[in-house]
Amino acid sequence: MAETSHPTPRTRTRALASVAAIALVAGGTLGATLVEGPAPAFAQTAPITVQNEGPASFADVIDKVKPAVVSVKVSIENVASRDGEEGGMGRGEELPPQLREFFRRFGGGEGGQGGQMPRRGGGGRGQAQGSGFFITADGYVVTNNHVVDNASRVQITTDDGRTLDAKVIGKDPKSDLALLKVSESGTFPYVKLAAQTPRVGDWVIAIGNPFGLGGTVTSGIVSARGRDIGAGPYDDFLQIDAPINRGNSGGPTFNMRGEVVGVNTAIASPSGGSVGLAFAIPAATVQAVVQQLETNGKVERGYLGVQIQPMTEDLADSLGLKGRKGALVNSTQPNTPAAKAGLQAGDVITTVNGTAVADARELTRKIAGLKPGTKVELGYLRDGRERTAALDLGTLPNAEQASLGTGEATRSPLRLGLQLAPAARVGAGEEGVAVVNVDPDGPAAQKGIQEGDVILDVGGKAVSSPADVANGIKAARDGGKKAVLMRVKSGQGVRFVAIALPNAG
C-alpha cells in the first residue's frame, strides 16, 4: 500500500505564506503593476495619514502648573449626616431621580472616603473636600459651588503643604462655580484660563484631590463638547476621559500649554468611581462668571421673558418651515422685553445679533451670557416671514430657570384619541379646551398629551370648543400638513405640540 505524503508543518507554513502573497498581489496591494484594467475606486484615493504623535511626557507642563492647584476643605455647621449615599455629591439631591443614579457630583466627605457625608438640615457638623486653583497672584481661587455651598469655614491646602483660611467671595449655583479669596496676603502661583476651546481629541491633564489624595495628576483627551447632562439650564460641558473621582470637584483641566480649559464638576458612573466619563465647565463660562463674582459677588444674567422649546421635524412642518433650526416661543411673559418688542407665541427665534441660533439651549446660553441692559437684535420667523426685533435685555429673576376635572365632554371627530370639553365648563380655566380623556394608544398620547391639559390654540387660532379643535385639525389636513400644531397648557407650563395627522377615512 502506497504511503500518503503529508506536508510538514514548515512546508504548510511556507505554502500558506505563498498563497497570502499571491492574494495580496492580486488585490493590488503589493504589486499594482500586475493588475490590468482600471484600479478599483477605493484604491484611487491615498489613505488618510496624520503625522502627529502624543507627547513623550506631561512632566514639563505639570511642573509649571501644579503649584497653582489647591485642595479645598469645608466645614459645614448645622447639618445632619448620612452614610455614603450619593457619594457626597453636593447638589445631587436636587437632580431629577433618573440623574441621581447616573451623574455623580464628587465633592467627597471626610477626606473623600465616603464616610459621613454632609447634608442640609438638622444639627451637627460635617466636612467636605474638593479642589480648586489660583487665578490671580493675590490669592483668588476658583472651585465648584457645590464644594463650598452652605460652608461655615473654608480652608485651602497649597501644593507645598500650607493650610490657609479662605473667604467665599461669591457663588453661582446655576453654573456651579464659586470664587474664594485666601485671607493671608502674599504672592501665589496662578494659572490663566484658555482663550480657545479645545478640539475633540486634544490632550488634557486634570489635577486635583481625589479621595483626599492631594496633588493627583491624570491625563486623557477631550471626548466631546457641548454636552447637556441635565444639571442645569446652561449646560455646555466639555466631556473628557481623564480619570476623575470624588474630590476632583472644582479642580482644573489643562491643555498642553498649561492653560485651564475647564473646571471639573461631574462624572457619569454607576458606582461613583471613574469610568472615563467626566464633565468640565468650559473656560469661557468660567471667565464670564468669575468676573461678575469678583465684582458683584453674584451673577446677573440677561432676560427676554419668553418660554421656549426645541424645534422638531413635526413642529417645523406644522409651521411651514424647512429644517429644525431655532427656538420656538410658546409664550411671552407680560411686561418683559420680549412682550414689549412684540414677540408672540409661535414665533421662531433664529438669530441673536446676527449670529444663528441652533436650538433652544443655545438661545438660553446666548441670552444668559449677556448682561442686563444689553441691546439685542433678534431675528425670528412668523408666518414664514423673516422679521427682526430690537430690545434691551432685562434681569433674570431669581426664581427663573432660563427656561383638571369632570363634566360634559365631546369625542374629537378626527381620531387623535382625545375627549374634549370647554375648559370653563369643567373648571379648567377661562380659556381653551380641556382634555378630559386620552386614548393611551392614540396619536395625541404619543406626543405627551395628558388628561387635564388645556388646548389653547390649534394651527395658530385660539379655540374655545371641541368644534374649534376639530376645525383646526381639518384645516391643517386640507392644507397638506403632516401634523397639526397645538399650543397646550399643563402643570409644567405652556408648550407647542405637533401631532401627526392620521389618514383621512
Q: Do domains 302-395 and 410-500 have the same CATH topology?
A: yes
CATH architecture of the domain covering 60-299: Beta Barrel (2.40)
Q: What are phi and psi of 262, to 5 degrees?
A: -170, 160
**Do 401 and 364 form a contact (C-beta atoms < 8 A)?**
no
Q: Which of 188, 195, 189, 193 is nearest to 259 (CA)?
A: 193
Long-range residue pairs from 255-258, CB within 8 A, at least 24 positions apart, any chain: 255/194, 255/198, 255/202, 255/203, 255/204, 256/55, 256/58, 256/61, 256/202, 256/203, 256/205, 257/61, 257/194, 258/61, 258/64, 258/65, 258/191
Q: Is 417 helix (H, G, I), strand (E, B) or coil?
A: coil
> What does the DSSP 8-state code read for residue 138?
T
Predicted local confidence at residue 232, as pLDDT = 64
pLDDT in tens, the chain (505 residues): 444 444 444 444 444 444 333 333 333 333 333 344 455 555 556 777 666 666 779 999 999 999 999 999 999 865 544 333 333 333 333 444 434 444 444 444 333 332 223 434 445 567 889 999 999 999 999 999 999 988 999 999 999 999 999 999 999 988 999 999 999 999 999 999 999 999 999 999 999 999 888 899 999 999 999 887 766 667 789 999 999 988 999 999 999 999 999 999 988 776 667 778 899 999 999 999 999 999 989 888 888 988 888 788 888 887 777 777 888 888 888 889 999 999 998 899 999 999 999 888 889 888 988 889 999 999 999 988 899 999 999 987 753 333 322 233 344 445 677 878 788 776 678 889 988 777 777 788 888 888 888 999 998 889 988 888 888 888 888 888 888 889 999 887 888 888 888 764 3
CA 175/CA 309 separation, integer angstroms: 21
Would you name the residues annotated as active-site residues? Answer: 146, 176, 249
Distance CA 13, CA 18 (A): 9
Task: Give dist(CA 257, CA 332) in Å, integer.
Answer: 46
Long-range contacts of 383-391 (CB under 8 A, 24+ apart): 384/319, 384/320, 384/321, 386/350, 389/341, 389/342, 389/343, 390/341, 391/304, 391/337, 391/338, 391/340, 391/341
For the domain 302-395, what is the CATH superfamily, name and number?
A: PDZ domain (2.30.42.10)
Bridge partners for 303 per DSSP: 394
pLDDT of residue 52: 67
Place of cell 444689553: 374
CB 69, CB 251: distance < 8 Å = yes
Q: Which CATH architecture has domain 410-500?
A: Roll (2.30)
Where are the domains positioned within the chain?
60-299, 302-395, 410-500
Q: How far is CA 132 from CA 71, 126, 177, 190, in A?
A: 6, 20, 10, 11
d(CA 500, CA 20): 57
